[in-house]
Structure 1
Amino acid sequence: MESITEEQLIQMVRDFIESESSAPQISVSSSESHIDSDHHHQPSNIDTLEEMIWRETTDVEVEILEKILMYMRNMGSLIIEPKNLKKWVVLRLKMDGYEASLCKTTWVSFPGRAKGNYEFVDVITNGTRVIIDMEFRSQFELARPTQSYTKLIEALPSFFIGTEEKLGNVVTLLCSAAKESLKESGLHIPPWRKATYMLPKWFSENCKKVSFSPNSNSTIEEF
């Protein structure tokens, strides 16, 4: 498996920040707030997604994002295998005093939902739970996507940092858009593309939190 370099890791965070800076400002004047009888303006999925991701960013989310960016800049010659990236992030956050852990969720199958498992980073700070998912965008990629769905995914950060509420809203929006894309392409909507399957990746009741101690025998340099 190919290792992830410092440049690649920093680019992941840069993508997140550049998406924020390039998101258009939203301004609604009193004259624009009414519905024109000849033109019914409705926010697009991209507008709604950008509102969720960027306009509703909390101070806690920005704080953690800045921490991760700092980690990337200070990596030096360190090279991390992709399979160890989430563990490395957990260790660095714990070294800075955060209550961080690697979450491993599992869920059983039942009619309409297949079984599965997933991993992401979980941080509790000031009573707020923040989820860090380094593989977020890839979870919503489709075969033969429509043009509108492709643009929506391009507007999505390569990885996610946000609260549970934000995550739930974003996942629901993306699953709805994926459903429409599949229907327009004449494709069957598989169970694993529905919100009932996707949401348990982050919200399953069967969630095992694995914590790593910065003082243990396993060090970041061993990755």
Structure 2
Amino acid sequence: MSSLEEERLVQMVEDFIESESPSPIFSASSKSLPRKHHAQYLTLQEILGSGTKAEAEVLETVLKHMRSRRVAEKTTSLKKWLVTRLKRDGFNASLCQTSWVTSVGCPAGDYEYIDTTVQKYENGDDSIRLILDMDFKSQFELARPTAAYKELTDTLPHIFVGTEEKLNKIISLLCSAAKQSFRDRGLHIPPWRTTTYMQCKWLSSCQKVPGENREAKGSARGYSKWAPSPPMVKPKRSHLGGGSGLSSQFSKMSINCC
């Protein structure tokens, strides 16, 4: 992440904390939307409102540290700094960097976010992986959105904490709405706004890098069940045999967590 991007992210988070004003649960303008878009709005509200106690604890810890972040520490990567603070508080947190190769309709790319593994139940051994994104809302914003799509993105939180299941539902809903927004504007949807591309950011196969401490190794994942699948195409015949190059696309994906 460049220094300018880092400064923008830090400023955005600080502005969000200073405002302390969550997105409205139900805005007046949403009532005037067409029935289909109104239904999408209500569905998104239901998804965002289904947070667990664990998600709330992680978010509150993040906000606590961001409020106390010292000026001298702003030269450090915000995400790396936050991972260190979360670990000090007993969270099994890691910085994750995803990367993926080009496929049909999905250009290559990379992304960075934080994940943490928490206990699913207070008195149980089951754990659950939570994804923490400090710049979540802007990932779905469009340059020329329709009123219906802007209503959806205005509802999204700047800082997201949630499970893979919750995130996948949000991606599916927002990407479908984005596609319709582009169509209504007479535009073609760009490949970096497709469901596959957006899933690649957070839900690709996960692999911990060597050198992690034992606590972090406990959350190592060989794969994610939400790893996106590329469009099905008929493989070309080759004298080398084997299947299409697309069949191994996502086996080449990697997530480096540090």
Give TM class, smaller chain: 0.7 to 0.9
**Could you tell me which amino acid in structure 1 is paired with residue 57 of structure 2?**
E
Match of 1:12 among 12, 16, 19: 16
Gaps of 5+ in 2: 28-34, 120-126, 214-258
Change (3 A) 1:90 1:187: same
Change (3 A) 1:77 1:125: same
Contact 1:4 1:80 in 2 (8 A): no
Separation in 1, partners of 2:192, 2:9: 32
- In the other structure, the counterpart of 1:67 is 61
- In the other structure, the counterpart of 2:256 is none
Q: Work out whether 1:49 is the aligned partner of 2:37.
A: no
Match of 2:80 among 84, 87, 91: 87
Shift of 1:84: 0.8
Separation in 2, partners of 1:5, 1:155: 19
CA RMSD of aligned residues (A): 2.8
SS across alignment from 1:110: coil
Match of 1:125 among 99, 118, 125: 118
Contact 2:93 2:117 in 1 (8 A): yes
Shift of 1:12: 2.7
Separation in 1, partners of 2:212, 2:68: 20
Spell out, residue by residue over 1:38-81, the C-alpha distance to the aligned partner (whole angstroms, 9 max, x if none).
xx898532221111112x01000000011112112322444524
Shift of 1:7: 7.7
**Could you tell me which amino acid in structure 1 is paired with residue 98 of structure 2?**
T
- In the other structure, the counterpart of 1:32 is none
Separation in 2, partners of 1:42, 1:134: 27
Spell out, residue by residue over 1:155-183, the C-alpha distance to the aligned partner (whole angstroms, 9 max, x if none).
11112111111111011111011000000
Change (3 A) 1:186 1:43: closer
- In the other structure, the counterpart of 2:180 is 180
Separation in 2, partners of 1:5, 1:202: 18
Higher mean Cα deviation, 151-160 or 101-110?
A: 151-160
Separation in 1, partners of 2:9, 2:106: 37
Change (3 A) 1:5 1:53: closer
- In the other structure, the counterpart of 2:166 is 166
Tell me how many residue pairs correspond in the alignment. Answer: 195
Gaps of 5+ in 1: 26-39, 214-223
Contact 1:134 1:158 in 2 (8 A): yes
TM-score when scaled to structure 1? 0.76
Shift of 1:18: 3.1
Percent identical pairs in the alignment equals: 42
Change (3 A) 1:153 1:211: farther
Spell out, residue by residue over 1:176-211, the C-alpha distance to the aligned partner (whole angstroms, 9 max, x if none).
110000000000112211101110111112655698
SS across alignment from 2:74: coil
Separation in 2, partners of 1:180, 1:156: 18
Contact 1:6 1:73 in 2 (8 A): no
Q: 4+ residue stretches of structure 1 with deviation over 6 A?
A: 4-7, 210-213
TM-score when scaled to structure 2? 0.67
Which one scores higher on RCO, CA 8 angstroms, separation ≥ 6?
A: 1
